[in-house]
Amino acid sequence: MVNDKTPEVNSDQKFEDTPEYEKLTDELEILNQRFVNYKDTYSSPLSLSAYERVKLKNDLEETQHRIKQIERRLVDLRLEFDKKLRAIEEELPTRERITVQKVIAGFLIDKYKENELRHPYTIAKDIEGALQSYGIKLTDDTIAKWIEEALQLLNLYEK
């Protein structure tokens, strides 16, 4: 039976090292060999009784079905693993995020007047242009999001 539990994910872990991947690929290897053996036996010129041929054919079909189940599960697990890994990699720890917000807030209050700080998208456009002049690409939406978060620390912006 296929285990529907999503593998645990560590940022330094490879999908191929997860216990479920190893378990499923081991089973898949056994089933693939069994499939080859069944197919060879089924197509061999040896005379099998009608009962043996039907049973062998059923075993062959069941093995094929299980192989397809495992292959689908491996694809699903890979997608789930990659999604969790991306979330871990994209997640900035709370302490670091607050530190970044404070640094941004410091730059903002040093460069802009309080009435200018109430317009984060205008500031974001300025920053986007400055970054682009150095070949750094970052959208004004992304910049504005960080500015808004920093301004919330200063109680100058509310969503």
Q: Quote the CA–CA distance of 53 and 51 in Å, as a whole number.
A: 5
How does DSSP assign 47-69, residue by residue?
Answer: ---HHHHHHHHHHHHHHHHHHHH
Looking at residue 2, what is its pLDDT? 43
Average pLDDT on 65-89 reads 86
Kindly report, residue by residue over 79-116, the tens digit of the pLDDT: 888 888 777 766 767 788 888 889 999 999 999 998 89
pLDDT band at 125 (very low <50, low <70, confident <90, very high): very high
Using DSSP's 3-state secondary structure scheme, residue 137 falls into: coil
Instruction: Evaluate if residue 151 carries a pLDDT over 60.
Output: yes
- The amino acid at 25: T
